[in-house]
Amino acid sequence: MRVAAYINALPADAARTALVRCCASHQWVNRMLAARPYASDPELYQVAEREWWTLDRSDWLEAFAAHPRIGERSTDAWASGEQSSVTGGAGADFHVALRDENDVYERRFGHVYLVCATGLGAAELLADLKTRLANDPDAELRVAAGEQAKITRLRLEKLVTT
């Protein structure tokens, strides 16, 4: 089943629940619900992206806050799966370094380090985190928002594949 058809067919409460799984910004979810019905998957993805980038900082931070820290265990199956290639085979030294760098990042930027971890290895992830620490706060907010946009797209697709 296509994503657009799936979202269109859901009652409002079920559609809200499904969309929150993809992106926890209530403003984004409300806008996605208001834009139904979607004529196609490309239209749904285009609206999702467009609406994401029209939100403000507080909406982005709301979405970021719903994510577990990279490297920490999560009860959310999607988050665990997205991080499995990063943390599954990594050793204790990696986990200590990741925890420490996460702490530095959160103190510097005031939100969780957000990255679309699907397909990234442990070394790539840690290098990305360290590189992003050099960003100024406004630039980093936009980088993290871009990562959330990638995650949202993947999760929209997962609605009909998992």
From 26, 67, 95, 111, the catalytic residue: 67
* Tokens found for residue 125: 């992830």
Cα–Cα nearest to 72, from 82, 62, 61: 82
Find the angle CA(146)-CA(152)-CA(155) to the nearest 5 degrees: 145
Q: Does residue 95 carry a catalytic annotation? A: no
| DSSP-derived 3-state class of residue 67 | coil
Q: In the Cβ-directed half-sphere of 159, how many Cα atoms lie within 13 Å?
A: 29
Smallest CA-to-CA distance from 82 within 36, 119, 38, 131 is with: 119
H or E element at residue 6: helix 3-9
- Residues acting as catalytic residues: 67
